[in-house]
Amino acid sequence: MSERAKRLGDVIPRPASVRQAAGASFEIHSGTAVSAPPALEAVAAHLGRPLSSSGEIRLALDTSLAPEAYRLEIGADGVTLTGGSPQGVFWGVQTLRQLGPVLPAGVIEDEPRYAYRGAMLDLARHFFAPDEIKAHIGQLVQFKINHLHLHLTDDQGWRLEIPGWPRLTEISGGAGTGCDGAGPGFLTVAEYADLVAYAAERFVTIVPEIDMPGHVNAVQVAYPELTADGQPVAPRTDAEVGYSSLIAGKEETYAFVEAVLKTVADLTPGPYLHIGGDECLSTPPEDYRAFLARVLPIPASLGKRVIGWHEIATVDLPDDAIVQYWRIEAADDAVARAAAAGRRVIVSPADRTYLDMKYDEDTPLGLVWAGHVGVRQAYDWDPAERLPGVGEEAILGVEAPLWSETLRSLADVQYLTFPRLPAVAEVGWSPRDGRDWASFRERLAAFGPVWDAAGISYHRSPEIDWP
Ligand code: TNX
């Protein structure tokens, strides 16, 4: 952080309430310690300072606050950070870290607008190693992102070991897989479990996605018995979509799906299983319905809540199903009907939240099918006004997906993620009337030096006056 004294509200996402007091600030110095009750010692460790019963950064719990809420009180004698749960305290720690060593006196009272604030990483078109995913999580949590959706499977590759189905990863996670064959690799069961634990220590829930019935060429390369005629199909490393499908009328299909979802559910402590369901252009509509009628109830039988891309809203949904909206047009009747029937929606409009869209015509990476997504475009919209019939009550939260067809490295991930992800994070966290582009772009500019120092390959968008 820069040494310049900040205003108390100079935080992304902008806190719900900020009252800066006149006068004294508190400066964190080399000897400043943290005091924390046993239940908060793990959170305290994220401050990287010694624990002491007389620490001037005092962590506390107050269960009358919402679990993700926190209150930060800064006075001349130190800092008191109180959360509704350890997660709330952890978000307060992120606020503290953004403010830097010189803390203006005053009080921040903060809590999120939406429970679900997600980012998605596509491991199928290009695999990212566990250490890269961990580094990414470390960046995301600074902006209070609390879900990482991992797109683990697609036509080009299969990226999670499934015991009993070794060819999925031996063949479709092996050499030559990924777009242009340049993204091989997969997570072993142990690596996935370790990743889930790493995320959990940072209060991030992993949302695993197994995409079906479309986007399954990699499955059918590994197990030709899952094609319509049982004949082998060729691996694909291009970026086409909509040509592959599991076969709704084959019993083998469901044995496969049940085995995979059981494994993923057993490995995933979080409440969600994402079953994809998007772009099934080669699945006849009646087969799509028949397939989902069998598959949508499986997560509940495994103790999980099902999420699917919004195409699933065209079929009968379990009561607790969550629909993830990704289109660019304003209206979608099926999603509105699902919301009217009580289903929750994750809002990911491609023209606002897709991190794989180019910023502008000069962006070397990314796609353009949803147009250019500049920083202001990612910031200046409201989830509750996006879809007629999908108001505040229906919205579980927002997510920014990053598809990896054009990505080859963690630096590429960072380039498309920063600085747009902080914009979507603020859309998901901050109260609507507390958001304002002029303020956001000023607060965002302060991250330039932070990212420079951390070696983050962010895009120096011309929309921001970087210092
Ligand atoms: C659409 S959005 C897809 C993905 C592509 C992405 C590229 C969605 C649910 N499916 O298969 O990777 O566009 O932007």
pLDDT of residue 329: 77
- Cα 135 from chain centroid (whole Å): 14
| 3-state class (DSSP) for residue 139 | helix
72 phi, psi to nearest 5 deg = -120, 115
> What average pLDDT does range 184-188 have in this prediction?
98
163 and 189 in contact (C-beta within 8 Å)?
Answer: yes
pLDDT digits (tens, 9 = 90+) for 94-104: 999 999 999 99
Helix (H) or strand (E) holding 172: helix 167-172
Q: Thinking of the domain 116-434, which architecture would CATH place it in?
A: Alpha-Beta Barrel (3.20)
Residue nearest to atom 5 of ligand 1 (CA): 403
Between the CA of 145 and the centroid of ligand 1 the distance, in Å, is: 21
Q: Which atom of ligand 1 sits closest to the CA of residue 350? A: 2
N-term to C-term CA, the chain? 13
Domain ranges of the chain: 17-110, 116-434
Residue nearest to atom 13 of ligand 1 (CA): 403
Helix (H) or strand (E) holding 110: strand 102-110
Between the CA of 294 and the centroid of ligand 1 the distance, in Å, is: 24
Residue nearest to atom 7 of ligand 1 (CA): 403
% of the chain residues with pLDDT over 70: 99
Identity at 317, one-letter amino acid code: L
Rounded Cα distance, 99 and 443, in Å = 11
pLDDT digits (tens, 9 = 90+) for 359-395: 999 999 999 999 999 999 999 999 999 999 999 999 9
Q: Which of 278, 310, 416 to mutate to test the pocket of ligand 1 (most atoms within 8 A of CB)?
A: 278
Between the CA of 427 and the centroid of ligand 1 the distance, in Å, is: 22
Residue nearest to atom 8 of ligand 1 (CA): 278
Strands 157-158 and 153-154: antiparallel
pLDDT of residue 5: 61
> What average pLDDT does range 164-171 have in this prediction?
98
Between the CA of 146 and the centroid of ligand 1 the distance, in Å, is: 22
Q: Which spans in 204-297 are helix H?
A: 217-222, 251-267, 285-295
pLDDT of residue 328: 85
Rounded Cα distance, 141 and 13, in Å = 11
Residue whose entry in the numeric block shows the structure tokens 């380039």: 415
In the chain, % helix, strand, coil (3-state, to 5) comes to 35, 20, 45
> What average pLDDT does range 439-459 have in this prediction?
98
pLDDT at 256 over 70: yes
Going by C-alpha positions, the residue among 125, 262, 288, 275 that lies closest to residue 211 is 275
Q: Which atom of ligand 1 sits closest to the CA of residue 348? A: 2
Residues with CB under 6 A from ligand 1: 241, 278-279, 309, 326, 354, 356, 367, 403, 405
Domain topology for 17-110: Chitobiase; domain 2 (3.30.379)
Rounded Cα distance, 73 and 62, in Å = 14
pLDDT at 150 over 70: yes
Distances (CA, A) of 79 to 33, 51, 106, 444: 11, 14, 10, 25
pLDDT at 444 over 70: yes
Rounded Cα distance, 285 and 293, in Å = 12
Rounded Cα distance, 29 and 23, in Å = 19
Rounded Cα distance, 433 and 350, in Å = 23
pLDDT digits (tens, 9 = 90+) for 298-353: 999 999 999 999 999 999 999 999 999 999 876 679 999 999 999 999 999 999 99
* Residues sharing a CB contact under 8 Å with residue 9, sequence separation 6 or more, in sequence order: 15, 18, 20, 108
Active site residue 279: yes
Q: Which atom of ligand 1 sits closest to the CA of residue 357? A: 14
Q: Which atom of ligand 1 sits closest to the CA of residue 125? A: 12
- How many CA within 13 A on the CB side of residue 132? 17
Q: Which atom of ligand 1 sits closest to the CA of residue 278? A: 9
- Provide DSSP, 396-426: EEEEEEE--TT--SHHHHHHHHTTHHHHHHH
Rounded Cα distance, 121 and 158, in Å = 14
pLDDT digits (tens, 9 = 90+) for 8-67: 999 999 999 999 998 779 999 999 999 999 999 999 999 999 999 999 999 999 999 999
Going by C-alpha positions, the residue among 100, 110, 108 that lies closest to residue 6 is 100
Rounded Cα distance, 33 and 388, in Å = 51
Please report the beta strands in 153-265, taking only residues with DSSP state E, as ranges in sequence order: 153-154, 157-158, 205-212
| 3-state class (DSSP) for residue 5 | coil
Q: State the catalytic residue, choosing from 252, 279, 385, 393.
A: 279
Residue nearest to atom 4 of ligand 1 (CA): 403
Between the CA of 399 and the centroid of ligand 1 the distance, in Å, is: 14
pLDDT at 74 over 50: yes
pLDDT of residue 332: 76
pLDDT at 4 over 60: no
Residue whose entry in the numeric block shows the structure tokens 């870290």: 97
Residue nearest to atom 11 of ligand 1 (CA): 241
Between the CA of 345 and the centroid of ligand 1 the distance, in Å, is: 18
429 and 409 in contact (C-beta within 8 Å)?
Answer: no
Tell me what the pLDDT averaged over the chain comes to.
Answer: 97
